[in-house]
Every structure is written in C-alpha cells, then in structure tokens.
Homo-oligomer: A and B are copies of this chain.
Amino acid sequence: MFIKLAPSAAHAAQPELAGTTAVVFDVLRATSTIVTALARGYSKVYPAVDVDEALHIAGSRSHVLAGERGGLKITGFPRGNSPLEFVAGPEKDGAELVLTTSNGTGAVRASSTADRVLLGSVLNARAAARAAVAHGQDIYLVCAGSGGGYSLEDALGAGFVLAEMLKSANLAVEMDDRAAAALCLARCYSHDPLAGLMNSAHGKALVRLGREEDLRWCSQLNMFEIAPVYNGEYITA
C-alpha cells in the first residue's frame, strides 16, 4: 500500500487520485465541523463550493445553511463554520446541512476522482484510518491547505491518521516524503495536539478572531468513531 500526501487540494493531481482512497483534511475547521455535525445527529452534509451553490442546494429544502469566508460567518447564513455550533445536534432529528467554506468543502469536491472519499480530522483519526485501509487501495491524504499552500494543522491531522494506520498489524506501507514528514508531525504533537493547532498560522488567525475554543474542540484526538464518506453529492457518517 502506497500512501501519498498532497499539501493542498491544488496539489492533488486528478489522475493520481483515480484508483485510490482519498482522505480529505481541513482540520481548522471544515472536516472537524462535518465530523462533529454527523456524530451529533445531522444525517447528511452537502459540501458546496460557493455561496450561490449553497443557496441553490438549500433553496428548495429545509436544510440548515452554514459557512464561512475568511474565518467569519457568511452574512445571511444562520450558521458559520465553528464545530461548536453543531455540538448540540440539530433541532430536528436527522436534519441535513449545507456547508461552504474557504478551502475545505472545495477540497472534498476536488477529491471526487478518487474511488472513495473519506473525511479526516484529529477528532476521528482512528476511525478514518481504519476505514481508509479497509479496501487495501493506495491512499491519498489530501490536505485542504490554505489558498493553495501548506497548512500545518492539516498535515498534522493527516499525520495522526497515518500513525493510526501504522498500528494495523500486517500492513506493508510505503509512503512519499510529505507523508513521512506528516508522521513526524503526529509524533511531535502526540501528547499535545492543541499545541500543533496553536502553532499554525491559521490557528493563530482564529485565536485573533476569538475562536480559541474551536481549536480546543478540534484538537481532541479520537473523540468520535465515525469515518464520513462523500458519495459525490453529500457526506454521511
């Protein structure tokens, strides 16, 4: 099994995604938010690439509309992109969520060339790892990154999933240089995932926006045992 890491969705070559299991990471905060929402009772999450698409998907149905740009809730949207807004679960059991974020929801969409698309975060590292190796395919760890560039927190999330994969007995794994580096990140921050998130540029920006509690939430390793799957239209647990 070969494991490869893309530092941003823009780096994930479409032909290389084919035939792989992709695991998409936007640790601060889209995939952490989606994992939280699905774990707490939302039935589906539609990842929209932009505001218009989000409005279109939500338009005809009673979906909950959520999203951010530049870390801030989109004007007119009832919810933002903080996982804390979804911790209590939906008002109506099984409600559906439409989410659009700066990097994460686009990264999920861009990964759909892969045979299977899973969502990873610190919150569900072990479950995502187990689901990723279950089919024996090569694995593409796709970090959403930020504006096409590297994000420490996404590489760290990918590293935690990779570290969980390597705990599987009898798994013969080879990996590229970026995946090997992500594994080091996980080892570096294994006793303090929050420090990794706090050291990232995006983490610092969220703290400046008053969202330190989001970082604390997103840093909880293996809090949920779900491995959300994107089917090309929506994400389910």
Chain A positions near chain B (C-beta within 8 angstroms): 7, 150-152, 155, 176-178, 180-181, 184-185, 187-189, 199-201
Contact = CB atoms under 8 A, between A and B. Distances in A.
A185 B183 CA distance: 9
Contacts of A151: 177
Interface of A, secondary structure class, is: helix
A189 B189 CA distance: 14
A199 B181 CA distance: 10
Nearest to A154: B177
A43 B216 CA distance: 54
Contacts of A177: 150-152, 200-201
B155 A176 contact: no
15 contacts: A150-B177, A150-B178, A150-B181, A151-B177, A152-B177, A155-B181, A177-B200, A177-B201, A180-B199, A181-B181, A181-B185, A184-B187, A184-B188, A184-B189, A187-B188
Contacts of A152: 177-178, 180-181
